[in-house]
Chains A and B, each alone.
Chain A
Amino acid sequence: MVSPHDVTALLGDWSRGDRTALNQLLPIVYEELRGVALRQLRNERADHTLQPTALVHEVFIRLVDQRHVDWQNRAHFFGVAANIMRRILVDHARRHRASKRGEGVRCVSIDEAQDVAAAAEMPILALDHALERLEKLDGELAKIVELRAFGGLTIEEAAHVLGVSPSTAKRAWRTARAWLNRELGFEDPP
């Protein structure tokens, strides 16, 4: 088990430019996030949807020594965690869909149908696909969506992670949002 002190030190090293620190950090954060996410996905009643940002926060509290981390390092941590959270959710949504498919055709009650909807699998998969397309088009836009949607970062925090000014981040966010809305068919009716 890695102590909060280790993770905090790794974050510090990484924000000072040490890439090997990131390589050490990723698996720790991944394991931790996956643990809490899967536990929550298993335990959660159907009427609760997963709250990725809450999970990321929970893991941060567990992994990082709060007294020895400044807000810039926090932003870096959440930048990493946002990407991992996205992968975990997409992975889970895929499995969930696969297992539903595996059950074959049967009657589904209204309650069960709602469960399926509540699992929010389609929006996540659809969003993930759209984000992949956006990545090819404009990496920065995709990244800011990831940070905000899966990591819960504010514009300012995302700006810090991306190394751009908050006003640039704000424009990027708005552009990305419009692009995704259009891709996912959420345009205003004419």
Chain B
Amino acid sequence: MIDERWPRVKALFQDALERLPEERDAFLASATADDAALRREVESLLAADTANAGFLDHLPVARDSVLADPLAALATAMDPAPSHTVLAAGRRVGPYEIVAPLGAGGMGEVYRAHDVRLGRDVAIKTLPGQFARDRARMSRLRREARTLASLNHPHIAAIYGLEEFDGTDFLVLELVEGQHPAGPLPITEALRIGEQIAEALATAHARGIVHRDLKPANVMITPEGQVKVLDFGLAKAVYGQEDESTAQPPDVNASGSVTGHVIGTPAYMSPEQARGEQVDPRTDIWSFGCLLYELLTGERIFRANTVQESVTAVLERDPDWRRLPPKTPPKVRQLLRHCLQKDVNQRLATIEDARKGIKQAQNVVSPWLLACSLALVLAAVATIALSLVRPVQPTDSSQWVPLTKFPDSAGQPALSPDGRMVAFVRGESSFYGPGQIYVKALPDGEPVQLTNDKLDKMSPVFSPDGSRIAYTTVNPDFQWDTWTVPVHGGEPQMMLENASGVVWTGPLRIMFSEMRRGVHMAVVTSEESRAAQRDVYVPEDEPDMAHRSALSPDGKWVLVVEMDIDHLWEPCRVVPADGSSSGQKVGPPRGGCTFAAWSPDGKWMYFTSNAVGANHVWRQRFPDGKPEQMTAGPTAEEGIAMAPDGCSLVTAVSTLGASLWLHDSSGDRQISLEGNAANPVFTPDGSKLLYRVVKEQPSEYAYYRDPGEVMVADLRSGRVEPVVRGFQVLNFDISRNGRQVVMEAPDEAGRSRLWLVPLDRSASVRQVPTVEGGQPHFLADGEILFRHSEGASTAEGSLGFIYRVRPDGSGLRKAVEQPVNQFNFASPVSPDGRWVFGWGPLGGHGPAAGQAYSLDGKPPISLGGLGQIAWAAGGALLSITGSPRAFFVPLAPGQMLPPVPTGGFHTDEEIARVPGARRIDGRLVTVGPAPAIYAFYRGNTQRNLYRIPIP
């Protein structure tokens, strides 16, 4: 070690650095005359000074200052050795009274100050002491400052002047508050900002002023949305001409600004700037192109870890145009290419041309949007009663900002109280289902998995202090509990049993859903400990489930998301928070409402609802505005997390539907071509496959409230056509002889009716007379089983029953003694016609479970809360609702049910243990005439979180 030498080595090294390279030898020779070892030591450090300058930059990946303060950018670091003057709050400097420091930058300190003469707040930026001591430089800077001060434009942050008081020199600047723009922005927003920047540049260029350091940190968006370009020409005014630059490579500090004499920031620097050549207004055009690209893509156009890499990229690399959003107008693409020509003579000549280009692109965007809106209005008119809702004004989906990019699905977003983190369930279901809780710092943190267990999950929410995420779990026994997990990771803890959809209504107060008798679920409020619990809303009909709730900002009203007697989503409801009444339905009048939220000011209610088929975002003024549809288009949106500022919401957008595939001896092939396929049913001979095409996307439950045409696919020819063109049905079945199709569709009064049509369409559709009901299935003798819902009473046996009727409407009688909630399953009738599968309360009034009901009056056999059976040729399919697997279980001739454990099946593993069980991967499998031929959905639903701006 050379400890005792080190102070001397260090001092000589640092002194040598202050000198020009060619002077260093002479300096060292005289300073170390008597000590050759000392000289070698200093020389070895000097040799290492410029070597591998990026080594440490690679390690830290310090691309941006972690301390970056929005206002600190006023003091964009540009100076190799700023002075460190400190002005205390309250101090007077001439007419300026220091209010508070805004941040420190390379050039010096920046303060908010009050100009007592003019009665306005300004920003003042102190200058490095070394400049103040350089008289020639100061007088030039004064001249420059006067020119800059003459720049007067709404999009340019004004430079009021250069002043000096008490020996302190400082620039007096317009105080601009707001945020720097950060991509990816919606295209229209990026263009709006780009246009205003171009205007500012055009004004400056007209006066011969070049910015030289245009980048996001030098642009501010005020709270009113106005663009202000900061620090115009300051780089040159303070540091002089580029031709003073030395051959020394530029140095960079962690904020990405260059120190030394090359002016500019590497990532936004034009090639001529990077080479240290003279620049003209076209250098700003280059930087403008970099900036616009970054606003559109959210990525720096020339990404690099070090200055060297950055310079190399600017000089040599072609931008990755594929990163531009697909909807970027061609005009804008062309403009960017022109701005980013490396050869300055090939580049766009004037910024005014850029401004015009953007203007044209904006004009192209608008009519397209208009046409799009009109088309959607027409679609909406065709689907729902126009008088009840306002015309559709959907947000432009090109403005949606993706927050996650999973190849599978993420849903049920929740934002932290400060809006900086989003929690969600990564899993297929938008209700409850297998999946894990994730959290992600916005906008671009890595998603972090917080849970790792097999419980079904839903409804994540942040605690008021943002430290924990509470979420609902549903266990195989259909018990609904709430757990919490720390945001920064850790073991999940059970928080409350029999509590779901927890939301905090105060620091220690919560609102949640609690299961009462059976699955009847009420909204209650209590302290976190569950003390002082009281009811907020108890659904009138007993098996109804109120799953989610949201308290209005003023604490007086609660939005409730609930399911009806058939466990289908109802329209949402707003109820008084004191529980004094059951309130009223809100949102779009038909269709299921799955999520609800309030705007932060309490003036709007937001919903996701499938009122027009697929789920979309809606809103309605509180209390009695008309529902407006906010999103539309080929995607479906579910879930609402309102940003704290009320300017945007986060929802889960699913981008693909479900297609139906056939597996047979020749492999797997796709059957359905367009839309989402639902409810596949084979004809008895296996030659054809019938299914419905619906707008709604599939869930693991296959509850399709969404009507659709029944299609028939000929499996040999591949031909697909509707059974009855334009006839929208909810459920259907085909007779055992393969000739008749029975369908459920509402009549003119909206009541569920049964309809018949021959598959060969030799006759037209006719109604099964007199009966009302749905979910029809044929028995072998041609009779039809169906379910009739028996209204809202809570008396025993009122849930709905399975009846049977002949196709001509005669012989109507109850088929199963026990009440049944649901009978819309695939192949729910055993081959001998003595058993049917449905979902209903155990013992007629207990918790609901999948059950095999006897048509001969025998007691039902429970398959468990989530167990399902579907009969098929030679056996049956057993599955757990929500599981992506099914098991084919062979049944001996005459045997109708496999051995079922008491209480039914709870897991795939239990089913797998049934003798002969064979696993089939694929959702909602329907087996054809032989076990080796089956139809299944291909799991191509992809759901990701997007931020949607609120107009």
Contact residues of A with B, CB < 8 Å?
1, 3-5, 32, 35-36, 39-40, 43-44, 49, 51-54, 56-62, 66, 70-71, 74-75, 78, 120, 123-124, 127, 136-138, 145, 148-157, 159-160, 165-167, 170-171, 174-175, 177-182, 184, 186-188, 190
Contact = CB atoms under 8 A, between A and B. Distances in A.
A174 B53 CA distance: 10
22 contacts: A1-B465, A36-B488, A39-B448, A44-B446, A52-B59, A54-B61, A61-B441, A62-B441, A62-B487, A71-B67, A78-B66, A123-B59, A148-B56, A148-B254, A149-B62, A156-B104, A165-B83, A167-B81, A175-B14, A179-B48, A181-B48, A187-B44
B267 interface: no
A168 to B, nearest CB: 9
- Residue in A1, A40, A78, A150 whose Cβ sees the most chain B Cβ within 10 Å: A1
B61 A51 contact: yes
B49 A174 contact: yes
Given A166-B81, A166-B84, A179 B45 contact: yes
Nearest to B50: A188
Given A145-B56, A170-B80, A43 B449 contact: yes
B448 A171 contact: no
Given A35-B489, A178-B48, A75 B67 contact: yes
Contact of A1 (B46, B48, B445, B468): B468
Interface in B669-710: none
Nearest to B81: A167
Contacts of B101: 70-71
Interface in B245-260: 253-255, 259
Contacts of A4: 465-466
Contacts of A59: 488
Contacts of A124: 59
A35 B486 CA distance: 11
Interface string B197-214: 000000000000000000
Interface string B14-48: 10010000000000000000000000000011111
B847 to A, nearest CB: 35
Given A165-B83, A177-B55, A182-B45, 12 more contacts: A4-B466, A36-B448, A36-B489, A52-B60, A138-B10, A148-B60, A154-B77, A166-B81, A174-B14, A174-B17, A181-B51, A188-B48
A186 B83 contact: no
Given A35-B489, A187-B51, A178 B13 contact: yes
Given A175-B10, A177-B49, A177-B53, A58 B445 contact: yes
B353 interface: no
B592 interface: no
B394 interface: no
B387 interface: no
B343 interface: no
B98 to A, nearest CB: 14
Given A75-B67, A178-B45, A181-B48, A52 B55 contact: no
B168 interface: no
A127 B49 CA distance: 17
Nearest to B6: A137
A188 B43 CA distance: 11
A160 B52 contact: no
Given A32-B488, A61-B441, A181 B448 contact: no
A159 B67 CA distance: 13
Contacts of A44: 446
Contact of B1 (A78, A137, A166): A137
Interface string B255-272: 100010000000000000
Nearest to A151: B66
B106 interface: yes
A136 to B, nearest CB: 7
A178 B47 CA distance: 8
A51 B60 CA distance: 7
Interface in B430-460: 441, 445-446, 448-449
Contacts of B72: 71
Contacts, number: 173
B51 A188 contact: yes
B53 to A, nearest CB: 7
A156 B59 contact: no
Given A35-B488, A58-B441, A148-B254, A182 B60 contact: no
Given A36-B448, A153-B67, A53 B49 contact: no
Nearest to A74: B67
Interface in B810-854: none
Contact of A138 (B6, B48, B445): B6
Contact of B48 (A32, A71, A171, A187): A187
Contacts of A60: 66
Nearest to A190: B47
- Residue in A32, A35, A54, A148 whose Cβ sees the most chain B Cβ within 10 Å: A54
B105 interface: yes
Interface string B476-513: 00000000001111100000000000000000000000
A152 B488 contact: no
B106 A156 contact: yes
B578 interface: no
A66 B420 CA distance: 11
Contacts of B47: 182, 187-188, 190
A49 B253 CA distance: 21
A157 B67 contact: yes
A186 B67 contact: no
Contacts of A159: 84
A171 B14 contact: yes
Contact of B52 (A36, A53, A186): A186
Contacts of A153: 65-67, 254
A186 B56 CA distance: 11
- Residue in B62, B486, B489 whose Cβ sees the most chain A Cβ within 10 Å: B62
Interface string B286-297: 000000000000
A177 B56 contact: yes
A36 to B, nearest CB: 7
Given A62-B488, A187-B44, A149 B60 contact: yes
Given A177-B56, A178-B46, A57 B13 contact: no
A71 B65 contact: no
Contacts of A180: 55-56
A182 B103 CA distance: 35
B67 A1 contact: no
Nearest to B489: A35
Complex A-B, nearest 8 residue pairs according to Cβ-Cβ distance, in ascending order: A181-B48, A167-B81, A186-B52, A182-B48, A152-B62, A178-B49, A188-B51, A152-B66
Contact of B55 (A66, A137, A186): A186
A26 B390 CA distance: 56
A44 B445 CA distance: 12
B758 to A, nearest CB: 57
B216 interface: no
B639 interface: no
Contacts of A1: 465, 467-468, 486
Contacts of A75: 67
B418 interface: yes
B84 A165 contact: yes
B82 interface: yes
Given A137-B1, A153-B66, A178-B46, A3 B465 contact: yes
Contact of B45 (A32, A170, A175, A186): A175
Given A32-B488, A71-B72, A61 B467 contact: no
A184 B55 CA distance: 10
A181 B61 CA distance: 18
B66 A182 contact: no
Interface string B62-82: 100111010010000100111
Nearest to B56: A149
B50 A154 contact: no
A150 B60 contact: yes
B49 A181 contact: yes
A60 B67 CA distance: 10
